[in-house]
A and B are shown apart, each in its own frame.
Chain A
Amino acid sequence: MQPHPAEDLESLMAAYQQADRTAAEALIERLSPQLHRFFMAQVVSRRYADDLLQETWLRIHEARHTYRPGEPVLPWIYAIARHVRVDSYRKVRRTESREQQVDVLPEAPPHGTGSQPGPDLDALLRVLPESQREVIVMLKVSEMTIEQVAQATSSSVGSVKQKAHRAYRKLREVLENMGFGDRGRRSTE
């Protein structure tokens, strides 16, 4: 496949609306990994995340006329992805329990091993309730701004800040129990 000359997501999306096949393929290549990670942070099974990713691209295709050229692409994409996940969750919730509320803390890495400075991200995020987890994934993994996360989740900036604040409080508790507080203090001293 020839790489598409457009660099930014907004130009790729505008070209995709004009039926530019290479732009559509470039968007899929560029965004699939982060969408997959978004789903993997919420669900347990990789196969299920694959299905959600596939479904998300179908919905994006169906809804592509509702993207307004020039506007940020990520909130629009994540709003659809989030809806696909919620929709699918509702479908399967009677048969499968998807919410993995982790009461057991992620394992702490052995102290003093410089090459293993942090816990596994997905395990760490699973400590958080779903609504806080998705906010942290969008902010820290997809590197969206608070305003973009608010757009993607159809909520207010204040609500996103509150969720992030609560998530950080929980993460602080977990990380300090794992001994990261001491390490953090040591590193800042």
Chain B
Amino acid sequence: MTPEQIDRVLAESARRSPPQEVDAAVVERAKASLASSLEPVRPLRSSRVFLTILFIISAAVAVLGAVVFGVRGLPVLSAIQRAVIFPMLIAAAAVAGIASVREMRPAAGRRIGSLALALSILVPLAAFAFLFRSYDPGNFVPDGVKCLTAGLACAIPAAIIAALVLRRGFVLDWPAAGIAAGTLAGLAGIGMLELHCPILKAPHIMVWHVAVVWISGLGGWLAGWMVQTAKRRSG
């Protein structure tokens, strides 16, 4: 059978079995429940506005964090390192921002939160492996824990502010929204570390700096899952 013939059978079947009449009581109940709280609403602003807001929040948190912890990393980076790292983080933040904004409205587009998280881990890993050639472990764990703590200290407020922005929409899938917002917040954390941390050893940067992104992304997923579970229980 050709697709056209299948279409014909489907159309004939649909004609032969028209939808069952919807129970009038159900329709009346729906009308009554909507009418009881019918107030004008202002449509959500465009995705670009929210994308800009999220981007500014992330950048502001990264810069403020670096100012608080001390801008000791930026001066020791070479011109090539600066030219690769910061545009790469901005591009990753744009993808994570788009993923977050798409979670705010039903039917806003394909969900790309997981893709944003994967890109925000893999691309920096590849870039750092290319840019930093010193594999001396140094004080791997003590220095690493300090950077991880500082990075997460920036990611957490960024994630909270991003969650407040997301709440203005109507999130259908909170875990997916959590991954997207967590990734964006993690990128704010790693951005702060690139401005702050003067350690240019590949193992340190690839393990501890990048860890801020995946911990933040997974933390976002967990927070989203908890919100969704709580909503289901209360609803």
Closest residue on chain A to residue B3 by CB atoms: A168
A96 at the interface (CB under 8 A from B): no
Closest residue on chain B to residue A55 by CB atoms: B235
8 additional A-B residue pairs with CB within 8 Å, beyond A18-B40, A140-B10, A151-B108: A53-B22, A66-B106, A121-B17, A141-B14, A171-B9, A180-B1, A180-B5, A184-B2
Q: Which residues of A contact B34 (CB under 8 A)?
A: 24, 28, 57, 61
Are B16 and A120 in contact, CB atoms less than 8 angstroms apart?
yes
Q: What's the least CB distance linking B140 to chain A, in Å?
A: 41
Closest residue on chain B to residue A74 by CB atoms: B107
Evaluate whether A117 and B106 lie within 8 angstroms (CB atoms) in the complex, with A91-B232, A172-B1 already known: no
Q: What's the least CB distance linking A102 to chain B, in Å?
A: 15
Interface residues in A64-116 (C-beta closer than 8 Å to B):
64-69, 75-76, 78-80, 83, 87, 90-91, 116
B26 at the interface (CB under 8 A from A): yes
Q: What's the least CB distance linking B159 to chain A, in Å?
A: 22
Interface residues of A, Cβ cutoff 8 Å to B: 17-19, 21, 24-25, 28-29, 32-34, 36-37, 40, 46, 50, 53-54, 57-58, 61-69, 75-76, 78-80, 83, 87, 90-91, 116-122, 124, 136, 140-141, 150-152, 154-156, 168, 171-172, 175-176, 180-181, 184, 187-188
Q: What's the least CB distance linking A51 to chain B, in Å?
A: 9
Interface residues of B, Cβ cutoff 8 Å to A: 1-3, 5-14, 16-17, 19-23, 26-27, 29-31, 33-35, 37-44, 46, 102, 104-111, 169-170, 172-173, 232
| Contact with A28, one of B1, B30, B42 (Cβ below 8 angstroms) | B30
